[in-house]
Amino acid sequence: MLYKILTVAGLATFEIYAAIPAGFAFGISAWTIFATTVVGGLAGVFIAAFLGKQIQQYLSKFRKPKVKKVEKNALIFKIWEKYGVIGLGFFGTLTVGAPVSIGVGTGLNVSIQKLIIWCCAGVVTRCALFTALGHFGMKLIN
């Protein structure tokens, strides 16, 4: 059982959309899935926030600088322009995930402390919403 819980938490570190169905497939209770995905999702937020800059600097040593063409029509940029830090942290986490939101926020020079707070709120909301949907969906099937 411990391996199943650790697997769900590890999946949630990178993608909550994969972790919650895996938890139901393993036969874990909904409360345990919620708790492990929140822990894993929050770990993903802090890994992306605190190690993201170091990883970027390390990789930049080996790459040649390129001229970047940023597509301003992407969903995450529309959220940024309309809602700011709250939208990028909360709604960005709900739609594309916390690591992507933090990566875009780092690129836009957003205050990392504010972004972490809103990403954490987005992770908890996302886990609660999708665990409840999965739980009641499984009730409909059985």
Residue boundaries of the structural domains of the chain: 2-141
In whole angstroms, give the CA distance from residue 101 to residue 45.
9
pLDDT tens column, 114-137: 999 999 999 999 999 999 999 999
- Measured CA to CA, the distance from residue 138 to residue 124 in angstroms comes to 21
Across 46-55, 82-91, 116-125, the highest mean pLDDT is recorded for 116-125
Residue 65 has pLDDT above 80, yes or no: no
How many alpha carbons lie under 13 Å from residue 52 in its C-beta half-sphere? Answer: 21
Confidence of residue 74 (pLDDT cuts 50, 70, 90): confident
